[in-house]
Structure 1
Amino acid sequence: MKALNKPKIIITPGEPAGIGPELAIQLAQKEWDAQLLFIADPDLLKARAQLLNQSIKIIQWQQDQSLALHQAGTIICNPIALNGPCTAGILQIDNAQYVVDCLSQANHLILHHQFDAVVTGPVHKGVINQAGIPFTGHTEFFASATHTDEVVMLLATEGLRVALVTTHLALSQVPKAITQSKLSRIIGILHQDLQTKFGIQNPKIRVLGLNPHAGENGYLGDEEMTTIQPVIQKFQQQGFQIEGPVSADTAFGSEHHPVQVDAILAMYHDQGLPVLKYKGFGHGINITLGLPYIRTSVDHGTALDLAGKGLANPSSFEFALQQAIHMSKQSIESKLTLAKGTPQ
């Protein structure tokens, strides 16, 4: 099977004591139309596979080696050693640096060895910070590592994509954080990545208001009139298919009236994500837009209570990998089109 022109995807299983390693093993048991490289401790993967009575072949990879198209039952592994012992379900502070080292290696390989995407498993922010390593999340880590000033968090499930203007911010701080310049940057990144990474030629974006009923013409708040509407109008004048501000309580459609847009842009975390997670709980993913490469992730945590018991559901990890492969193919096609000098 030829690997030429197939997407090259990096997978980081995440916290070694969590369910990430066994989810990675479950991923490897399937056929994937891509070249996959797992960054992990191979002994960790072997031990977890044995614990779960899973048969897996692990091939250690060196940077001067080419990758083959993924074959079911095989893991090609860029080895990074754990810093301490690891027991499923029990956090070990010594291994916090290992988690960060895996992410750093993923970033290095993508930037310097022409990989297309990274799919990240769940990490435990608490134990990383307890180890004295400042860490607020994957999104911020990769933004800093690539010197990217602005990134956009987008969560997706089947039939729905929701992007956020603000992310992990106290609700009292949200109104001041939403400025015309920030909103313009977020919409620009969202629109561009929907084109280049999702292959949507003319994306349709629905922008939510900040206040109940989108402010009711200023009676329930004026941010829609002073900040959001002027930005939307600017993009509309440039030919963008953008609508809003729309009241959040009616923006997501219903079973009989599904959303007819490519993405919804919410003003803050808990405005947009409860609907998405209700619709796609266990099947949603996190996508970081604005990076120089594709990054997708599971939408769940380390599930320490399930680790090593064979109970972990791989659906979110599988969807994250599926989307990374799809987006990589779209990105490769977009670059080839631009290289030929033909319009998209």
Structure 2
Amino acid sequence: MNYRKKKIKVGFTTGDINGIGIEIFLKVCCKKKILDFFTPILFGSPKLCFFYKKILNMEINNIREIKNFKEVVDYKINVFNIWKEDIKFESIKINHPESGKYPFSSLKTAVKALKEGKIDVLVTAPVNKKSMNFKNFSFFGHTEYLKNVLEGEPLMFMIHDILKIALVTNHLPLKRVSSELSIKKIIKSIKILHQSLIIDFSIEKPKIAVLGCNPHSGDNGLIGNEEKSKIKPAIDNFFQKKGWLIFGPYPSDSFFGNQKYINFDGVLAMYHDQGLIPFKTLTFNQGVNFTAGLSHIRTSPDHGVAYDIAKKGIANENSFEEAIFNAIKIFKNRKEYMKLNSSKLS
């Protein structure tokens, strides 16, 4: 079979057009021989790429506008032109409705292509949730949007070689976390995490740590009772009967302070900052945000739009590059898992 036909098609969203998304996209795609491994398709506008090429003074000669997927060419930066109007990108201000309009249309078109099999995986650039949250986008972020348009139950899963940590709750105010936690929700999260570690990361018998919710995991009920009433029952009454290696709940401070995380394949945190603060401290600019549990693969870098350094040419593209190669690896792992399990059934 022709090698070129087997190359994985990676779709990209533009992210916030005033952020660092296009800069890090171009930086990665310009690396020597990197397009040997995948074929990029950006959903946006060639004009946006040329706008950033000029600002950053980058030597790029392989940007190619396409109008349909039959025009995709390997070893080129394929840009699916979805914005037909003459856009003055330099005049669009941060937090203006216009700055949310374009990244949303990029995301919507890219996800449609993902569902239709026009691209194999999707890598999303960072967005500004405030500018995205206009009348046509009533979601807290990518994870919530993908839950609405793809099959499956999404789980926010931050991944790196040294630490993989998923979240029971995502973008919630801290005061709502306790009321959102339930035995059923924790069980569902562990199921998705367990399955993802097996299928997406080829770990045959995953060992998972579950964190507590309160300081010192509640101190036997002195500080809080979520550990006793919700987290421990979810572990004991269901998973140990299956023979799964699920342990906890652990106090999060000592769990990370004593490096207990190195003994586990995956960690389940109860809320956003409990998981992302240690993850980003340990892996920043190398970690990846992966949405587990969905029918299709989506990854993104572990950082935001970074307006303070945008258009200066100093943004670090490492996490974005890791997002690409993790998406490719997960895609291949899923195919291999399906192949092995279909052969067992036949």
1:19 matched residue in structure 2 = 20
CA–CA separation in structure 1 for the residues paired with 2:27 and 2:207: 36
For residues 312-331 of structure 1, the aligned pairs below 5 Å read: 312-331=315-334
1:284 matched residue in structure 2 = 287
Is 1:100 paired with 2:104? Answer: yes
CA–CA separation in structure 2 for the residues paired with 1:162 and 1:82: 40
User: What code does the residue aligned with 2:107 have?
Assistant: L
For residues 193-232 of structure 1, the aligned pairs below 5 Å read: 193-232=196-235
TM superposition score normalised by structure 1: 0.90
Alpha-carbon shift at residue 117 of structure 1 (Å): 1.5
Is 1:188 paired with 2:191? Answer: yes
Tell me: CA distance 1:224–1:135, structure 2 relative to 1, closer, same or farther (3 Å).
Answer: closer
**2:184 match: secondary structure:** helix
2:7 matched residue in structure 1 = 6
Alpha-carbon shift at residue 68 of structure 1 (Å): 4.9
TM superposition score normalised by structure 2: 0.90
**1:245 match: secondary structure:** strand
For residues 170-185 of structure 1, the aligned pairs below 5 Å read: 170-185=173-188
1:266 matched residue in structure 2 = 269
Is 1:124 paired with 2:128? Answer: yes
The answer to whether the 8 A contact 1:94-1:131 is kept is: no
**1:243 match: secondary structure:** strand
Alpha-carbon shift at residue 181 of structure 1 (Å): 0.8
CA–CA separation in structure 2 for the residues paired with 1:68 and 1:3: 9
Q: How many residues align?
A: 338
The answer to whether the 8 A contact 2:69-2:118 is kept is: no
**Residue of 77, 80, 94 corresponding to 1:78:** 80
CA–CA separation in structure 2 for the residues paired with 1:48 and 1:203: 43
Identity %: 35
Alpha-carbon shift at residue 87 of structure 1 (Å): 1.9
Is 1:136 paired with 2:140? Answer: yes
**2:311 match: secondary structure:** coil
1:35 matched residue in structure 2 = 39
1:241 matched residue in structure 2 = 245
**Residue of 150, 164, 182 corresponding to 1:161:** 164
User: What code does the residue aligned with 1:174 have?
Assistant: V
Alpha-carbon shift at residue 293 of structure 1 (Å): 0.8
CA–CA separation in structure 2 for the residues paired with 1:76 and 1:100: 19
The answer to whether the 8 A contact 1:156-1:287 is kept is: yes
Alpha-carbon shift at residue 132 of structure 1 (Å): 6.1
CA–CA separation in structure 2 for the residues paired with 1:166 and 1:236: 23
Structure with a larger share of its residues in helix: 2
User: What code does the residue aligned with 2:81 have?
Assistant: P
The answer to whether the 8 A contact 1:195-1:201 is kept is: yes
**Residue of 23, 33, 46 corresponding to 2:50:** 46
The answer to whether the 8 A contact 1:18-1:88 is kept is: no
1:309 matched residue in structure 2 = 312
Alpha-carbon shift at residue 334 of structure 1 (Å): 1.4
CA–CA separation in structure 1 for the residues paired with 2:339 and 2:328: 17
CA–CA separation in structure 2 for the residues paired with 1:341 and 1:17: 50
The answer to whether the 8 A contact 2:163-2:261 is kept is: no
